[in-house]
């Protein structure tokens, strides 16, 4: 009964989105206030009903109602409660329902927080938001109904992929979707502005917080996924340029560009058409990512052949939304008059460089991801594009980006004095160069690119600090007062850039100085890696809630003293039967010691295949991202972004 | 006009994605297309005497088909009636039974009918490896001892019309 209510609520939400998408928009275009007033209540109602639908599905998972196909296929009574709950979105139908839920959540949030927006823009934004929602509701109801019943129903479900039974991954999709879908708001604002034919500083100020919010979630979501791959897959890597990873990375790159170009629109009233285009593209990449992941066109071998309906539906939807908005852009972009002019050396131009590099980077990632598909479609050749391509092409673009990132904040608007910047930051640059070479030498040399990345990380860190110190006049009287009075947005910027600098150092450390050993170890064997002595003590069999496992015990010594005991596990799940590895990691500020235990080498079970990695500065990568996201949220709390304050400023 | 560029790029990508949807990722091409068939010489099923060899195949003047099959392979049963039909249409099919016991192969042929011109046994699967066989059934179109086409999985009538016939026709010219 509850399940049917969920299904019914979903149909109601679908109907409401149709109403919200058409009538208020018609009202706004023809000036009928009464129709326009439908916007907000339908937005709230839609959110209310999708919540019921989502709650109903979650309930079915919690009580293990196997008469629902989706539950029977993806759950199991013996699964821990957390994974019963997370199984709600751990499958195709459920994850699309989560998409729709978050979309409606954002819609309701815009309806609530955007009350002060000009009425016609407000209505248009909400209508577009609703029309996107309509697409997803129809997709759910027509091709991927999560509430489908099964009769006769099985006594037990077939279980959730054990790799996904992990706290990191339980929260990865919701965070990622909060990011993906958050970009829909920016998109709706962009299309709304195109219909209105007006983009101004106020528009940029309304759009920025939504973009920033989406960006924060997207950053956190991507990193959580990467972190999961790092410790759960046990390959010792954290980024594989896999199509699914790329699918989330492309919108991130464009959203980052958008974040910066919106500043130019807000402060200098220029780059409008470009910013609108970025807003459209950012969300287009979100949709494209969903298409890639959900249609199985790139990753999975058989997913698509079984259900052509879904792929065609998403593609048609993609074509309507993206194609429609890009066409609208082509027709209307000329209406957006460019405002302030700027010199070739200015903060604007630095931000333009940032935008170009980020957009080209996104294109490179898109090209690498789709090239095998294009090639197959055009010539029938089967190829794969691997990490060497991405590392080279993407890395090449990041070098100038990081260089400009250090300079940009120090440049003034309109026209900056290059000689002045160079004379101020030249010293910082030289220092970071020397420091990089010193570290390079200390870490034992290696590839020259390693020194380059190290240098870039240090440069960005030093330049960011220098700019901040200069801004607050750190060494003059009353510095504390000035530090406290800094606008939150600029504090956030400093943290954001600092976080990236830290993360770059972490990436360089773990990529270039990481070491790896694969050994058959017997009890009592000792291995030296990354300055640690690792002693294999023994193994134990253990029984978990829905798996059995072998747990190894490794004593870690540094300079003869035991600093930790690591217990990696090799698990064998029962439903579905599948082995997984649980790596054990000893993290310090200097690096991660990472141990994976594999299979027994002999019948007496006292020799085991063991993989050990030492990843210098790995924690810096995760820490850096935390600092970045922290910066994003600080910036989000800036007074300027609160609607009331914004309004006063415009008047 | 330049404002239309993003739209044009997008149209191109969606066209490619649309084509991509209808592609079968399981369709794996052979490295050996347009290469001569590997040298082999296989015995008859359950015997020592020669079934057929690469020399026999190369000596053929018409386009012939080599089909790898096994009695333990379910899709082979699906494919079999169509092979019978091909035989009736006059195609010359060489059959290679792959990693199968002689008794089982004979029973399979007896029950299902014999579409093959000649049958040989590849018991250890060595010849199949040289042909680049992923799994049975797999079918090769050969002309003058050169591999012209490879089909993995059972052949349906549609596959034959869409994929085999154009190649066979082209070679006939």
User: What DSSP string runs through B69-135?
Assistant: E-TT-HHHHHHHHHHHHHHHTT--EEEEEES--HHHHHHHHHHH----SEEEEETT-HHHHHHT--S
Do both A243 and A272 map to the same domain?
Answer: yes
Residue A584 domain-assigned?
yes
Contact residues, chain B, for A300 at CB < 8 Å: 25
C-beta separation of A326 from B3 below 8 A:
no
Give counts: helices (H), strands (E), chain A.
22, 10
Question: Using CB atoms within 10 A of its CB, is residue A131 exposed (0-12), middle (13-18) or buried (19+)?
Answer: buried
Q: Which of A374, A375, A384 to mutate to test the interface with B (most CBs of B within 10 A)?
A: A374
For residue B32, give how far its alpha carbon lies from the nearest alpha carbon of chain A (Å): 14
The answer to whether residues B14 and A291 touch, using CB atoms and an 8 Å cutoff, is no
**So what's the pLDDT on residue B17?**
78
- The reply to whether residue A334 touches residue B3, judged by beta carbons under 8 angstroms, is yes
> What's the rounded Cα separation, in Å, for the pair B104 and B77?
13
A422 and A545 share one domain: no
Interface test with A, best of B1, B4, B5, B6 (most A CBs within 10 A): B6
Q: Taking each helix axis as running N to C, give the angle between helix A92-113 and helix A119-143, from 0 to 180 degrees, rounded to the nearest 10.
A: 170
pLDDT of residue A542: 87
Tokens of A112: 């609530």
Assigned domain for A526 exists: yes
On whether both A439 and A347 belong to a single domain, the answer is: no
Do A545 and A504 reside in the same domain of the chain?
Answer: no
Sign of the Cα pseudo-torsion (B114, B120, B122, B123, in order): positive
Claim to verify: residue A157 and residue A216 sit in the same structural domain: no
* CA closest to B5 among chain A residues: A330
Q: Does the beta-carbon distance from A284 to B14 stay under 8 Å?
A: no
Please give the distance of CA A153 from its chain centroid, rounded to a whole number. Answer: 38
The string of DSSP codes covering B22-54 is: HS-TT----TTTTSBPPP-EEEPTTSSSEEEEH
How far away is chain B from the Cα of A175, in angstroms, using its nearest Cα?
27
CATH number at residue B112: 3.40.30.10
Q: Which residues of B touch A378 (CB under 8 A)?
A: 16
Percent helix, strand, coil in chain A (nearest 5)? 65, 10, 20
**Selected residue of B3, B33, B150 to mutate for chain A interface (largest A Cβ count, 10 A):** B3
Please identify every stretch of chain A with a pLDDT value under 70, giving residue numbers as ranges.
234, 295-308, 337-338, 380-382, 575-576, 602-603, 640-651
Whether the full predicted model's pTM is greater than 0.90, yes or no, is no
- Residue A26 · residue A146 · CB < 8 Å: no
A358 to chain B nearest CA, in Å? 16
Domain that holds residue B148: 33-172
Chain A 579-608, CB below 8 Å of chain B: which residues?
none
Read off the pLDDT of each residue in B116-127 and give the average, rounded to a whole number: 90
List CB contacts of A72: < 8 A, sequence separation 6 or more: A66, A150, A153, A154, A157, A158
- Beta bridge partners of residue A543, listed in sequence order: A548
- At A650 the pLDDT is 41
Q: Least CB-CB distance to A330: which of B7, B13, B28?
A: B7
pLDDT for B133-146, tens place per residue? 877 889 999 988 88
In tens, the pLDDT along A71-105 reads 888 888 888 888 889 889 888 889 899 999 999 99
- Do A383 and A236 lie in one domain? The reply is yes
Q: CB of A343 within 8 Å of any CB in chain B?
A: no
Find, in chain A, the residue whose alpha carbon is nearest to that of B21: A297
CA distance A606 to A630: 47
pLDDT at B172: 66
The per-residue pLDDT for A646 is 44
Query: Residue B24 falls within a domain, yes or no?
Result: no
Mean pLDDT of chain B: 85
Q: Is B162 on the interface with A (CB under 8 A)?
A: no
> What are the chain B neighbours of A326 within 8 Å (beta carbons)?
6-7, 10
Task: Give residue A183's pLDDT.
Answer: 95
CB proximity under 8 Å: A 381-400 to B? 381-382
Region B43-54 average pLDDT: 88
Residue A279 lies in domain: 169-180+197-410
A279 vs A259: CA distance, rounded Å: 9
Total structural domains within chain A: 4
Q: What angle do CA A522, A523, A527 make, to 5 degrees?
A: 70
Partner-chain contact A377 B16, CB within 8 Å? yes
- Give the C-alpha separation, B12 to A327, whole Å: 14
Nearest CA distance, B24 vs chain A (angstrom): 7
Distance from A277 to chain B by nearest Cα, in Å? 9
pLDDT tens digits, residue range B67-93? 999 988 878 888 898 999 999 988 999
- Asked whether residue A294 falls in the same domain as residue A438, the answer is no
Give the separation between CA B125 and CA B143, rounded to whole angstroms: 23
Q: How far is B3 from chain A (nearest CA, A)?
A: 5
Question: Could you please report the per-residue DSSP string of A461-501?
Answer: HHHHHHHHHHHTTTTSTTHHHHHHHS-HHHHHHHHHHHHHH
- Asked if residue B25 belongs to a domain, the reply is no
**A280/chain B closest Cα distance in angstroms:** 10
Q: Is A308 near chain B, with CB under 8 Å?
A: yes
User: Same domain for A236 and A342?
Assistant: yes
Of B3, B20, B29, the CB nearest to A377: B20
Look-up: residue for tokens 């079984």? A306
Q: Are B115 and B84 in contact (CB under 8 A)?
A: yes
Supply A35's token pair: 């129709």
Contacts of B13 in chain A (CB under 8 A): 370
Return the bridge partners of A610, or none: A519, A597
CB contact under 8 A, A312 and B21: yes
User: Looking at chain B from residue 2 to 21, which residues have their Cβ under 8 Å from any Cβ of chain A?
Assistant: 3-4, 6-7, 10-11, 13-14, 16-21
Check B3 against A273: CB less than 8 A apart.
Answer: yes
Contact predicate B7/A329, CB 8 Å: yes
Same domain for A404 and A264: yes
d(CA A400, CA A392): 14
pLDDT at A283: 95
Q: Which of A373, A381, A383 should be substituted to probe chain B, the one whose Cβ sees the most B Cβ atoms within 10 Å? A: A373
* Tokens, residue B132: 């680049």
Residue A519 falls inside a structural domain: yes
Give the nearest partner residue to B3 out of A304, A330, A378, using CB atoms.
A330
Q: Would B5 be classed as within a structural domain? A: no
First-last CA distance in chain A: 54
Q: Do B16 and A373 touch (CB under 8 A)?
A: yes
| Residue ranges of A 33-52 with Cβ closer than 8 A to chain B | none
Residue pairs between chains A and B whose CB atoms are closer than 8 Å = 70
In a shared domain, residues A9 and A145? yes
Q: How far apart are CA A649 and CA A223, in angstroms?
A: 37
In this structure, the answer to whether residues A204 and A352 fall within a common structural domain is yes
Helix (H) or strand (E) run with residue A23 in it: helix A2-30
**C-beta atoms of A304 and B25 within 8 A:** yes
Name the domain boundary from A343, A378, A410. A410
Q: Half-sphere exposure (CA, 13 Å, Cβ side) for B95?
A: 25
Torsion angle, CA of A261/A263/A268/A273, rounded to 10 degrees? 30
Average pLDDT over residues B166-170: 81
Chain A residues inside the 8 Å CB shell of B150: none
B61 to chain A, closest Cα gap in Å: 30
B128 neighbors B54 (Cβ within 8 angstroms): no
Which of A273, A377, A382 is opposite residue B19, by nearest beta carbon?
A: A377
Q: How many structural domains compose chain B?
A: 1
Tell me the shortest Cα–Cα distance from A383 to chain B, in angstroms: 11
Q: Do both A212 and A129 map to the same domain?
A: no
Among residues A380, A410, A440, the one where a domain terminates is A410
The DSSP output letter for A157 is: -
pLDDT of residue A295: 65
| pLDDT at position B26 over 70 | no
Give B30's pLDDT tier (boundaries 50, 70, 90): low
In angstroms, what separates the C-alpha of B138 from chain A's closest C-alpha?
A: 19
């Amino acid at each position: 009964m509850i399940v049917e209510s969920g299904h019914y609520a979903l149909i109601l939400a679908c109907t409401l989105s149709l109403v919200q998408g058409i009538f208020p928009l018609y009202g706004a275009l023809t000036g009928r206030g009464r129709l326009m007033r439908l916007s907000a209540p339908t937005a709230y109602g839609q959110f209310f009903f999708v919540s019921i639908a989502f709650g109903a599905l979650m309930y079915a998972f919690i009580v293990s109602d196997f008469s629902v196909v989706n539950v029977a296929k993806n759950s199991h009574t013996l699964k821990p409660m957390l994974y019963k709950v997370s199984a709600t979105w751990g499958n195709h139908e459920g994850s699309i329902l989560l998409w729709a839920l978050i979309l409606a959540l954002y819609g309701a949030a815009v309806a609530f927080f955007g009350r002060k927006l000009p009425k016609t823009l407000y209505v248009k934004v909400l209508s577009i938001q609703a029309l996107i929602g309509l697409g997803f509701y129809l997709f759910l109801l027509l091709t991927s109904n999560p509430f489908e019943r099964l009769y006769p129903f099985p006594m037990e479900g077939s279980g959730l992929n054990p790799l996904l039974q992990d706290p990191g991954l339980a929260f990865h999709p919701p965070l990622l979707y909060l990011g993906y879908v958050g970009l829909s708001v920016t998109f709706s604002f962009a299309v709304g502005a195109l219909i209105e034919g007006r983009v101004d500083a106020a528009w940029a100020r309304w759009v920025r917080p939504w973009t920033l919010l989406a960006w924060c979630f997207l950053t956190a979501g991507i990193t959580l996924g990467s972190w999961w791959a790092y410790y759960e897959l046990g390959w010792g890597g954290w980024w594989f340029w896999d199509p699914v990873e790329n699918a989330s990375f492309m919108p991130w790159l464009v959203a980052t560009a958008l974040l910066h170009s919106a500043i130019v629109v807000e402060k200098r009233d220029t780059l409008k058409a470009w910013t609108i285009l970025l807003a459209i593209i950012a969300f287009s990449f979100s949709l494209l990512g969903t298409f890639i992941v959900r249609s199985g066109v790139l990753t999975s071998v058989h997913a698509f052949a079984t259900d052509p309906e879904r792929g065609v539906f998403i593609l048609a939807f993609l074509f309507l939304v993206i194609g429609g908005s890009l066409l609208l852009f082509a027709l209307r972009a000329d209406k957006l008059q460019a405002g302030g002019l700027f010199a070739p050396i200015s903060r604007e131009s630095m931000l333009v460089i940032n935008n170009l590099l980020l957009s080209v980077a996104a294109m490179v990632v898109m090209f690498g991801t789709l090239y095998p598909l294009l090639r197959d479609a055009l010539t029938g050749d089967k190829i794969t594009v691997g990490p060497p391509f991405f590392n080279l092409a993407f890395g090449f673009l990041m070098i100038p980006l990081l260089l400009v990132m250090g300079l940009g904040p120090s440049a003034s608007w309109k026209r900056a004095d290059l000689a002045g910047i160079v004379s101020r930051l030249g010293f910082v640059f030289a220092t970071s160069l020397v420091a990089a070479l010193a570290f390079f030498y200390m870490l034992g040399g290696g590839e020259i690119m390693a020194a380059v990345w190290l240098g870039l990380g240090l440069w960005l860190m030093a330049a960011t600090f220098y700019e901040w110190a200069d801004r607050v006049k750190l060494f003059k009287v009353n510095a504390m007062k000035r530090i406290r009075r800094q606008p939150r947005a600029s504090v956030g910027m400093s943290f954001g850039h600092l976080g990236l600098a830290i993360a770059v150092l972490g990436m360089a450390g773990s990529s270039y100085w990481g070491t790896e050993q694969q050994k058959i170890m017997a009890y009592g064997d000792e291995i030296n890696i990354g300055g640690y002595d690792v002693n294999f003590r023994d193994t134990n069999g253990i029984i978990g809630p829905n798996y059995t496992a072998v747990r190894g015990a490794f004593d870690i010594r540094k300079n003869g003293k035991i600093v930790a005991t690591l217990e990696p596990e090799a698990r064998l799940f029962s439903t579905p039967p599948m082995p997984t590895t649980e790596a054990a990691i000893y993290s310090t500020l200097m690096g991660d010691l990472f141990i994976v235990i594999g299979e027994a080498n002999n019948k007496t079970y006292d020799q085991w295949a063991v993989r050990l990695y030492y990843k210098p500065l790995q924690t810096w990568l995760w820490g850096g991202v935390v600092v970045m996201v922290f910066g994003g949220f600080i910036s989000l709390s800036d007074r300027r972004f609160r609607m009331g304050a914004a309004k006063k400023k415009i008047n | 006009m330049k404002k239309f560029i993003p739209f044009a790029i997008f149209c191109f990508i969606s066209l490619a994605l649309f084509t991509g949807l209808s592609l079968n990722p399981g369709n794996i091409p052979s490295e050996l297309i347009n290469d001569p068939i590997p040298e082999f010489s296989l015995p008859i099923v359950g015997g020592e005497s020669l079934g057929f060899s690469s020399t026999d195949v190369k000596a053929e003047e018409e386009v012939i088909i080599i089909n790898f099959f096994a009695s333990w392979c379910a899709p082979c049963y699906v494919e079999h009636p169509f092979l019978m039909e091909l035989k009736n249409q006059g195609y010359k099919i060489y059959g290679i039974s792959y990693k199968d016991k002689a008794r089982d192969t004979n029973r399979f042929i007896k029950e299902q009918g014999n579409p093959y011109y000649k049958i040989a046994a590849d018991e250890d699967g060595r010849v199949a490896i040289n042909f680049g066989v992923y799994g049975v059934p797999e079918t090769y179109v050969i002309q003058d001892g050169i591999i012209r086409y490879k089909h993995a999985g059972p052949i349906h009538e549609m596959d034959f019309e869409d994929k085999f016939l154009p190649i066979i026709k082209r070679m006939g010219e």
